[in-house]
Every structure is written in C-alpha cells, then in structure tokens.
Chains A and B, each alone.
Chain A
Amino acid sequence: MSTSTTDPVTMAAQSAPASEDPALRAARRERRMRILMPCIALLAALGLWEFLVRYNEIPHYLIPAPSLIAKTLWTDGPSLLSSAWFTVKLTLLSLGLAIIGGVALGMVFALSRTIEMSLFPFAVILQVTPVVAIAPLILIYVDSTFAALLICAWIVAFFPILSNTAIGMRSADHNLRDLFTLYGATKWQRLRYLLIPSALPYFMAALKIAGGLALIGAVVAEFVAGTAGQNTGLASRILESSFRNEIPRMFAALLLVSMLGIAIFLATSWLSRAVLGHWHESEIKRQG
C-alpha cells in the first residue's frame, strides 16, 4: 500500500477502512480465482489434448480432437439435444417420483415400526440388486419403453431418499419431542413443526445423492434397452454411435451427459444451501 499521507487525522480516519480493504480485496480475489483457475486448467487440458491429437496425427475414429467434438456437437446439435431432452425428462421424472415415494414411505416408516420392519427388506432388495440385472426383466414386463426406463431409474434413486427421510424424522431432539407433548401438540403439528424440519438436513443430503443416481439409473437403463424405440436418450445415442464407429458423436453425447450431471449437482447443492443455509451447520460459512 502506498498511501503516503502525512496528515495524522486523515491517517486515523483512513486506517479503519484501509485495514478492512485488503481483506475484502483478498476475498474478491479468492472468489475470482475460484472460477478462473478451473477454467484455465480446463482450457489448458483441452489445448494439450488438441495438440497431442494433431501432433501425433491420431485418426479421429480413435481419439477425436476437442475441436472435432465441438463441430460434431454443432452439426448433430438438434438431434443430440432432443436425445438430451429425453434423458432429462427421464431423470427428473424418476427423481420426482423417487422423492414422492421415498418421502411418503420414509414418513410411514418413521411413524410405524411394524410397517418398517415388514417393508424394509423389500427396499433393501431393490437397492442391493444391480439395476442392470433387473432392467431386462422390467423391459420384458412393461410395454412402454419409457415407463420401463422410468422404473429402472426410480429404483436407483428411491432408496437414499427413503432411508434418509426415515432416519431424519427419527432424529428429532428428544427434549423437543417432550416439549411438543407437554403443549399438547397434535400429530399433524408434530409432523409439520418438528419432524419435517428435523429431517430436512438428512433429506437434502439424500437429494444430492439421489439426483446423481437418477441420472446413472436412466443411463444404465437406456443402455440395457439399447436403441429400441423411436425416442432415444443420450445413452442409446452413445451406444448407437459406437456401433457405427462414430467416435466424435460418442464424445459429444458423453459431454452432454456429464453436463447434465453437473447441472443436477449444482441445482441440488443450491437448493440445499437455500433451505438450510440460515441454520444448519453443514451450510453455514464460518468466519475465520
């Protein structure tokens, strides 16, 4: 800092903001760097990739250069985007159904031990059996391919939401439960004002996991279903391109799948921060 002030009064007046300024500036710099550094690293990696492919003259059916993938993404854009839309629909719908089913059953589990004991084994069986193994059967039994895919993705995303909701509802503070009893709270009041808020952090953690799992479930199910059906998602496009040896298009579809995954991750993280940010330890930023 080169503020050469001789007047002691202005010195004193400036010293307070001046001592705060560098901290603020450092924070701003840190924020800029957090965005800038990954971008630079990513661009550098892409540049290296492009360079190595061109320098070694690797044929595009082995490893396509990033520029070719970008071009493919542009030329095949409309058809790839409609496939992406299919996968998005599949993922979000299965996630939505997993939330509805998982939360509803999780609440029932938390309220009744008997029901939990009877139904929990089924939930575990669904969870531990790999979806790839069940998918062919589901595809046989269910007429609509979309419905079959939806069931597969749902099975994968459902379990974390179910188990976390049940655990979360049960984790409500015992003294608070006693307090609600003392004040004669109804079952509904207890659920609305005590159990649901207590379960929220657990549910949010489950949502972050289930969001990713729904996408994985959708992609795996599409792979099993293969290229059957007219409306196909990104995974079947990858499969189809691999049959035709169209490696650049495989990469382009793959890029869209991972971008979809990143978008889901960012959305669930944002939601978690928005819901828990003002009170829960996991989302509170600490000073110093």
Chain B
Amino acid sequence: MPLDTTAKSPVQGAAQIEMSHVFKRFDNGTLALQDMDLTIRQGEFVSLLGPSGCGKSTALRMISGLLAPSSGQITVNGHAPGKGVQGGDVSFVFQEPTLMPWATVFDNVYLPLKLRGLSRKQAEAQVTEALEMVGLAKFGGSYPRELSGGMKMRVSIARAMVTRPKLLLMDEPFAALDEMTRFKLNNDVLNLWRRNGLTVIFVTHSVFESVYLSSRVVVMAPRPGRVVHDMALPDATTRDAHYRTTPEYAETCRLVSDALEGTMDDVDLNH
C-alpha cells in the first residue's frame, strides 16, 4: 500500500478529532463500540467502513454530539462534541434526505442559518451559494416532494454546507440511491471536499465507494463494534470518474475488501 502522506502536505493539518478509549454500551446491553481510538487530522477524507452492527454510525453520532460515549474521551475542533460554536463548525448528512416537507428547498437550506438567528435577507446570498454548489440554484422555490431522490440528497448536502462547516459528517448518505446518481454525488462530494478544505467522515458499507472517495479507510468489525484496520490510501486529491477504471483503483479495492473479509470470520451470515 503506497503511503504518500507527504504529497498531501496542505491537507495534513492539526488533529481535529481525537477519540481515545471510547466505549458505547446501549441501554439494552449491546456493546456497540469497544475501545475505539482514532485521530483525524484537518483535511482528511476518512471512511468508516464495515458491515451493519459494527458501530460506524454510532461512532459518527458520538463525534457529532448526538450520542454520548459510555466511557472515553472525544474532542472535536478542541471542544467536547456538540459544544463548539453554535451549530457552526460541524454539519451532518443523514442516510435519508431529512428535509422538511412543508418548506421549500430554499427554506430547507436556510434552516441552519435561521436557527442561528439570521434573517432571510442576511442569509439569502449564503443559501443561494450553497444551492449553486450542488447545482440546484433554480429549484429554490420547489417543494421536496417535487424532486427526485438524488436532488433531495443534494438539497440535504447544500443544507450541510450552508454554514460553511469545517467538518462534514455523512452517515451512509447515498445508500438508497441508484448507482448513476451515487457516482454523480460521489464526485460532487469530492469536489466540495477539495474546494472547501473540509474534513469529511463518511460512513459506508460499500468498499468501492470508500476507496473512490477517501484518503483513509477505517475498517470496522461487528460484535462488539471495533476498529480492525486503519488504511491510508493513495493521493485522493486528483481523482475523477476515470479513476474508477484504473488498475490502481481495482488493486486498492481488493486490499480493502480483503481487510473487510477478515472481519467477517466470526459473523454468522444467516440474518
């Protein structure tokens, strides 16, 4: 596995997220996450990859502050999770678009700024910019029900980007979309990451998606949820659709698949 960390010098910044000895046990007794240690630096694109039940979404929700760890320490941007600048520096994209059906596309994207107390007028430029970023500038007046699945997801991404976050958390955002739409949105996310100097944590169960997007793949295993591999990937800053057909991509996919395979030994596949 080639590790050209030096080639990404502008990308490698200070530690932005630190998890040390993080455990999470749910009320029903399930150990969702066992002793997770993870340091993510500014500008990284990290995929949490694993089968269902491996704790990848749990880890993401703890980083966002939506879930508290049972024990262990997490810091995000130097704060406890969810305690940073009010709703400013961290954004979350859910598996579903999670749009308010009663509000227009514009109002959905405006929501984070509205909650921060910005008037419509003050926010207008920022909302329009976010909508342009995902190519939906013309759809500000539409309602979510009038949009396709991929467009709804793009609105969701625009809403996440409107606060100009430093950290973007994505929880299997494209799992429910068709392949063509997913490829398109993969490229959109890569472009956003490159242009805005974001840090992205991307939860997925697709090897191909994680390899295509990430500068680093964290492979997790279930029962109990834990990290089993932490793999840096070759330079992610220059990838485009062509990359999917290169031998390098295939080789990396094979390596990551093998790593993932190793986690499945003790999993009964009869569910």
Contact = CB atoms under 8 A, between A and B. Distances in A.
B90 A182 contact: yes
A96 B112 CA distance: 35
Interface residues of B, number: 24
Chief secondary structure at chain B's binding surface: loop
A99 to B, nearest CB: 20
B102 A183 contact: no
A62 B92 CA distance: 73
Interface string A185-206: 1000100011001001000000
Contacts, number: 55
A193 B101 contact: no
A279 B142 CA distance: 10
B145 A284 contact: yes
A278 interface: yes
B96 interface: yes
B86 A193 contact: no
A179 B92 contact: yes
Contacts of B103: 197
Nearest to A183: B87
Contact of B101 (A175, A178, A189, A280): A280
B82 interface: yes
B64 A182 contact: yes
A183 B111 contact: yes
A175 B100 contact: no
Given A193-B114, A279-B143, A179 B98 contact: yes
A78 interface: no
Given A183-B87, A184-B87, A173 B65 contact: no
A184 B100 contact: no
A180 B100 contact: no
Contacts of B96: 175
B63 to A, nearest CB: 11
A176 B143 CA distance: 16
Contacts of B102: 197, 200, 279-280
A173 to B, nearest CB: 7
A82 interface: no
A173 B90 CA distance: 21
B66 interface: yes
Contacts of A178: 66, 92, 94
Nearest to B91: A182
A278 B87 CA distance: 30
B257 to A, nearest CB: 30
B78 to A, nearest CB: 17
A129 interface: no
B116 interface: yes
10 contacts: A176-B100, A178-B92, A179-B92, A179-B94, A179-B98, A182-B90, A182-B91, A183-B115, A189-B115, A281-B145
Given A181-B66, A279-B101, 16 more contacts: A175-B98, A180-B115, A182-B65, A182-B87, A183-B86, A183-B87, A184-B86, A184-B87, A185-B115, A193-B115, A194-B100, A197-B100, A200-B102, A279-B102, A279-B143, A279-B145
